[in-house]
């Protein structure tokens, strides 16, 4: 019974990390703020995974990293609200970290 509970927890950790990494790669082509937010999210999830597997000191570090990610997400939310209400960019989001290849 305990084996299946551990396997289920590990599987959900890996699937959440994989999904977040896929979104992180896509975010690198959007703007700096969303790229930085997803970078913090990936780092926070990996630190949380380490704390789950026995490195308990990583739990506190993961909490701080994920709080910074949440603050970044609030900044993006404020940008979208101001953009919708005022019709112009009040909060800059920065340029993309990677430029997509032009299509032929």
Which residue range(s) make up the domain with 63? Answer: 2-86
95 part of a folded domain? no
66 part of a folded domain? yes
- pTM equals 0.85
Confidence of residue 103 (pLDDT cuts 50, 70, 90): confident
What span, in angstroms and rounded, lies between the C-alpha atoms of 66 and 103? 36
13 part of a folded domain? yes
Q: What domain count does the chain have?
A: 1
What is the distance, to the nearest Å, from the Cα of residue 44 to the centroid of all Cα atoms in its chain?
8
> What pLDDT is attached to residue 13?
81
Q: What is the pLDDT of residues 43-79, one digit of tens each?
A: 999 999 888 888 888 999 999 999 999 999 999 999 9
96 part of a folded domain? no
91 part of a folded domain? no
């Amino acid at each position: 019974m305990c084996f299946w509970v551990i396997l289920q927890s590990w599987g959900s950790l890996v699937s959440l990390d994989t999904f977040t990494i896929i979104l992180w790669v896509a975010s690198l082509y959007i703007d700096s703020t969303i790229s930085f937010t997803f970078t913090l999210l990936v780092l926070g999830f990996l630190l949380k995974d380490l704390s789950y597997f026995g490195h308990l000191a990583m739990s506190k570090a993961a909490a701080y990293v994920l709080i910074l990610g949440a603050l970044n997400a609030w900044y993006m939310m404020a940008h979208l609200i101001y953009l919708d209400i005022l019709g112009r960019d009040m909060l800059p989001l920065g340029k993309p970290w990677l430029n997509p290849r032009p299509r032929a």
